[in-house]
Amino acid sequence: MNGDRASTSTSPIHLYSRPSPNGQKIHIAVEEFGLPYEAHMVDIINGEQRTPAFTAISPNQKIPAIVDPDADPACDGGSINLFESGAILLYFAEKTGKFIPQDFKGRWDVIQWLFWQMAGVGPAFGHFGYFAKFAPVKNEPAIAIYAAEVTRLLGVLETRLQGPGREYIVGNEFTIADMATLPWVDALLDDQALVKQYFSGVALTNVIKWSERCNARPGVQRGKKVMVNDGK
């Protein structure tokens, strides 16, 4: 599964983030990949994401973003800036040879499920959470639309995790596809009142077991503490 290419990094990766689902993807990743890093909390409340300094790293003015001083000697000065959590996960996998299969089919299987999370799970779960929990005015039609899409996506994941050889999203090995999907699913599962209100009839047996399996990993546990309370 993993090529385990030794990283030549000597300088820490600079991680610009927050403990949100998108940020947690990369918090989990740096711990699972075992990469040296320094965490920098981005103050989005006061608009730090719109400053020239942060925009130079993340032109989309969103977290997470990284600066890797030891990316590749072929890069300008050996350093690279990256934004978008999916791109960062693929970069870490390419840099280390870990958490992505080395065979052609397996590699693209992981990539397609990573893109599924980026294009489907993140936007749908995020919009549902906003309209169901944070919107200043309840918009029931919007809640219903996004609850239906979240239900559909949970069904896709539940089916994907069914049967032997499906401990994780791609086979029996933890990959970047799991790192990407877990924080969004856990953000929903952790709010049992919301699950009971909108998803009480949704089959989640395999999804819950998968979440428990992922959360039993020490790297995931450490990653979830990054930038939280006394976390690194």
Backbone phi and psi for residue 155, each to the nearest 5 degrees, phi listed first: -65, -40
Tokens matching residue 131: 């309209």
The residues, ordered by sequence, that sit 6+ positions from 209 with a Cβ below 8 Å of its Cβ are: 161
| CATH classification code of 13-99 | 3.40.30.10
CATH topology of domain 104-219: Glutathione S-transferase Yfyf (Class Pi); Chain A, domain 2 (1.20.1050)
pLDDT digits (tens, 9 = 90+) for 135-166: 999 999 999 999 999 999 999 999 999 999 99
- In angstroms, rounded to a whole number, what is the distance separating the alpha carbons of residues 27 and 18? 9
Tokens matching residue 149: 């899409």
- In angstroms, rounded to a whole number, what is the distance separating the alpha carbons of residues 1 and 97? 9
- In angstroms, rounded to a whole number, what is the distance separating the alpha carbons of residues 26 and 173? 18
**What is the β-pairing status of strands 37-41 and 13-17?**
parallel
The pLDDT of residue 230: 47
The pLDDT of residue 78: 83
Confidence of residue 77 (pLDDT cuts 50, 70, 90): low
- In angstroms, rounded to a whole number, what is the distance separating the alpha carbons of residues 207 and 189? 10
- In angstroms, rounded to a whole number, what is the distance separating the alpha carbons of residues 112 and 133? 30
- In angstroms, rounded to a whole number, what is the distance separating the alpha carbons of residues 185 and 207? 8
pLDDT digits (tens, 9 = 90+) for 4-13: 554 555 799 9
Q: What mean pLDDT value characterizes the chain?
A: 94
pLDDT digits (tens, 9 = 90+) for 15-74: 999 999 999 999 999 999 999 999 999 999 999 999 999 999 999 999 999 999 988 766
Q: What are the domain boundaries of the chain?
A: 13-99, 104-219
For residues 202-217, one letter each, b for 16 or more C-beta atoms within 10 angstroms of the residue's C-beta and e for the rest, the string is: eebebbeebbebbeeb
Closest CA to 36 of 57, 16, 15: 15
The pLDDT of residue 232: 47
- Hey, is 96 helix, strand or coil? helix
pLDDT digits (tens, 9 = 90+) for 171-214: 999 999 999 999 999 999 999 999 999 999 999 999 999 999 99
The pLDDT of residue 71: 80
Tokens matching residue 182: 């877990």
Backbone phi and psi for residue 224, each to the nearest 5 degrees, phi listed first: -70, -15
User: pTM of this prediction?
Assistant: 0.93
Instruction: Please check the confidence at residue 1 and state whether its pLDDT lies above 80.
Output: no
